[in-house]
Amino acid sequence: MAVLAITAVRVAVLAVSDLNLHGDEAQYWSWSQGLAFGYVSKPPMIAWIIAATTAICGDGEWCVRLASPLVHAATSGIIFLLGREIYDDRTGFWASITYATLPAVSYSSGIISTDVPLLFFWSVALYAFVRLSRSRHVGWAVLLGVSVGLGLLSKYAMIYFVLCGVVYGVISVEARRLLFSRHVALALILGALIIAPNVVWNVQHGWATFSHTAENAKWSGPLFHPDKMLEFFGAQFGVFGPMLFAGLLWWLAAHRPWRGSRRGDEGARLLFAFTVPVLVVVIVQSLLSRAHANWAAVTYVAATVAVVAWFLQRDRARIMRASLALHVVVAALIYGLVAVASSGGLPSRLDVFARLRGWDVLGREVATLMAERPGAAVLTDDRMIMAELLYYTRDAGFSIVIWSGGGKARNQYELSAPFDRTTTPRVFYVTTLSKPNHILDRFAVARPLPSLSIPEHRGRTRVFHFYDLDG
């Protein structure tokens, strides 16, 4: 009931919010208009989910984002089952509520992203893995394999699950028996079969998604960035919450859960194995190059259960409750700001959501100008602008293409809708570049038009430049 109440508030906030889609969200929506087994930068699950919700409630921003709070609620339910299975009902209850109020989950519930289904399928896979370790029932092996496969279709970070399983096998005799069983072999086969269509899509498109994922690591430059590592590590206090992340470090230092000297440590060893390896890998990645704060998000499924259990076992429930209260206050502040901003109550200089405004204004302006240019197409040089225009001019009826510059496609639009001079010689060009001569010089006619300025946070403006191009 607590999770349902939290979810109801989050859905209500989505319903009253007038915030535009972020470029990535608009991009995922555009993918949902042409379903496939893969896209250049991500596996297909996010597009499938958006297609499902928008088929029910339409293409409004709230409906595009609707799956996020609902799926996070389902993940909270799975974490209850996980905590109960490893420890007891009380641990499961508090772990579920704690996960539902994590700062990262409160933030993530207001947007649609690939982390949302990833965390759900990771939690289901972990629960199935725990049940399989105790019963060896083929049904749990099937659920494990399906969850891993669907997790990989959500985000390739699901592959960390295999790494965590191997680490668990290293520190646990019981786990080694399981890992070499026919049940785990069945799960791996099922997972491979489910991800196979995406692999085939990648083969047909030059390993586009795999290459993009590898390039995202940015290992081509200098490979030592202690400042980035400290930045990532510090961000985890915000992602997991300051008291919980400190509690995680305390649990690791004081309990040393990888050991097996005390009765009941098997659950702690399992949670350690599905927490620490991912965090360590991403910390190393942040040292070598960079890492976004959410890259270790799957860490906090097992970590939530581990830290809550540790607090309860050490009679430190008051710390857990204080952390929960802090997270509720933070969430209330965020949702309150969204509600006030949506009612026009925030001064422009204090509007922290300014970057999620104005894209609908751009869409209306472009649609109006394109009505005067029948037969022309819109051209842009930026995937974010293209994604926003695809969404905010979705009923206008003209085509939108992107300047690719030749070579390997760097995003889905360069693959599916590149500019072709033979089919679209006359275009209406939209750009944020003040001097896009590398494109203008390629046309016989390049006529500048009045620009569009949209206010941003703290007095800054976002300027869009328009050109009529021909030949």
Domain residue ranges of the chain, discontinuous segments joined by +: 2-338, 358-470
Reported as a pLDDT band with limits 50, 70 and 90, residue 372 is: very high
Considering the entire predicted model, what is its pTM? 0.94
Token match 């539902």: residue?
100
178-182: long-range contacts (C-beta < 8 A, 24 or more apart)?
A: 178/132, 178/133, 181/136
Q: 222 versus 182: which is more confidently predicted?
A: 182
Residue 218 structure tokens: 């940015």
Q: Average pLDDT for residues 360-367, to the nearest whole number? A: 96
Q: Average pLDDT for residues 101-129, to the nearest whole number? A: 96
pLDDT at 263 over 70: no
Of the candidates 327, 297, 323, 312, the residue with the CA atom closest to the CA atom of residue 267 = 312
Q: Reduced to 3 states, what is the DSSP secondary structure of residue 350?
A: helix
Q: Average pLDDT for residues 128-153, to the nearest whole number? A: 96
126 contacts: CB under 8 Å, gap ≥ 6: 82, 161, 274, 301, 302
Of the candidates 243, 274, 59, the residue with the CA atom closest to the CA atom of residue 160 = 274
Reported as a pLDDT band with limits 50, 70 and 90, residue 153 is: very high
Of the candidates 297, 331, 306, 292, the residue with the CA atom closest to the CA atom of residue 252 = 306
pLDDT for 259: 73
pLDDT at 328 over 90: yes
pLDDT at 350 over 70: no
pLDDT at 110 over 90: yes
pLDDT for 261: 46
AA letter at 447? R
pLDDT at 348 over 90: no
pLDDT for 327: 95
Reported as a pLDDT band with limits 50, 70 and 90, residue 223 is: confident
User: What is the residue-wise DSSP string for 239-291?
Assistant: HS-HHHHHHHHHIIIII-TT---STTHHHHHHHHHTTHHHHHHHHHHHHHT--
Q: What angle do CA 56, 415, 390 make, to 5 degrees?
A: 40
Residue 399 structure tokens: 């085509």
Give the bridge partners for 377, in sequence order: 427
According to DSSP, the β-strands at 377-380 and 400-402 are parallel
pLDDT digits (tens, 9 = 90+) for 378-403: 999 999 999 999 999 999 989 999 99
Reported as a pLDDT band with limits 50, 70 and 90, residue 458 is: low
- Which range has the worst mean pLDDT, 28-37, 60-69, 248-257, 342-351? 342-351
Q: Average pLDDT for residues 211-216, to the nearest whole number? A: 81
Q: 421 versus 60: which is more confidently predicted?
A: 60
pLDDT digits (tens, 9 = 90+) for 278-312: 999 999 999 998 899 999 999 999 999 999 999 99
**What percentage of residues in the chain have a pLDDT greater than 90?**
78
pLDDT at 321 over 60: yes
104 contacts: CB under 8 Å, gap ≥ 6: 238, 239, 240, 293, 294, 297, 300
Average pLDDT value for the chain? 92
Give the bridge partners for 452, in sequence order: 464
Q: 99 versus 341: which is more confidently predicted?
A: 99
User: Which runs of E-coded beta strand occur in 345-460?
Assistant: 377-380, 400-402, 427-431, 445-455
pLDDT for 404: 87
Q: Average pLDDT for residues 331-352, to the nearest whole number? A: 76
pLDDT at 86 over 80: yes
pLDDT at 374 over 80: yes
**What percentage of residues in the chain have a pLDDT greater than 70?**
96
pLDDT for 37: 96
pLDDT for 349: 65
Reported as a pLDDT band with limits 50, 70 and 90, residue 264 is: low
